[in-house]
Structure 1
């Protein structure tokens, strides 16, 4: 009889333990025929910050907030694309430390194929002539293209900002 009591008590305890691990929300008390057991309420989940959509404007602002030059952002018109296919939307930005009217482009695309086409265009252009060389970096559906007059370590800072902002 004592063995049966221990067996049934063990089974009851396991059932109580297992029911405490179930998915019933905010279950606070579970009663058994032998001993009351309290199961702590599930702590409310921490509210995460909503993911803010990255825009061309917020990316340019992140560059500025990071101490980088991205002055006079101007919506790109067809002429601002030069010989490149006009895909996506863009802002032209100036980097005054490089000289008058020198800077780059911040572009956003609707799909990866368009982004890859434009990145390839700028990369190939730079291979055809050192004078046409520019830095490019893509993250998500965004591409930055900056003048080759910029130092590589300076361009890396723009990449770092994009890596932090775009997941």
Structure 2
């Protein structure tokens, strides 16, 4: 009897862990997101791999991260493209950015989530432009 209970428990844990991750066919890379933004004719300046400093105080759980500049926003302004292995880590980072936006207007930033990707963009970007980035992301 104990053997069957153990098998059931292990099976349930396995199913739960599998359900928390993103399937391979639904996974995107930050490079694919940059390409989608570029193909949509959006303002994408220099891109580079994110460093530890780029994460600030936020949880550093991303699988990969790309920092991109939006030239129309001025020097060193743009956004981040973060990819995750599981949805709970993605949601944790999105909540981090969203809660900062709620705390002070000067910390406001746009966030968008699609599949395994979180995009965070400087809040100085007009909402109309944000919607164009969001449409390009959701088209993937």
User: In the alignment, which of 54, 62, 79 is matched to residue 80 of structure 1?
Assistant: 54
Q: Cα RMSD over matched residues?
A: 1.3
- Which ranges of structure 1 fall in alignment gaps of 5 or more residues? 1-50
1:70 Cα offset (Å): 2.1
Task: Provide, for residues 58-108 of structure 1, a one-character-per-residue CA deviation record: whole Å limited to 9, x for no partner.
Answer: 110110110002221110111110111111121000001011110010110
- Matched with 1:66 is 40
Q: Measure, in 1, the Cα distance between the counterparts of 2:133 and 2:27.
A: 19
TM-score normalised by L of structure 2: 0.79
Which residue number in structure 1 is paired with residue 85 of structure 2?
Answer: 110
Q: Which residue of 2 aligns with 1:142?
A: 117
CA distance in 2 between counterparts of 1:129 and 1:53 reads 33
Write the distance in 2 (CA, Å) between the matches of 1:156 and 1:64: 15
Aligned length: 115
Q: Equivalents in 2 of 1:53, 1:125: separation in Å?
A: 27
Please tell me whether residue 163 in structure 1 is matched to residue 114 in structure 2. no
Corresponding residue for 1:123?
98
What SS does the aligned partner of 1:71 have? coil
| Equivalent of 1:54 in 15, 28, 35 | 28
Bigger mean CA deviation after superposition, 105-114 or 70-79: 70-79
Q: Which is higher, the Rg of structure 1 or of structure 2?
A: 1
Alpha carbons of structure 1 residues 52 and 127: separation in structure 2 relative to 1, 3 Å: closer
Greater RCO structure (CA 8 Å; 6+ sep): 2
Q: Helix, strand or coil: the match of 2:61? A: coil
Q: Which has the higher helix share?
A: 2
- TM normalised by structure 1 equals 0.66
Return structure 1 stretches of 4+ with deviation > 4 angstroms.
none
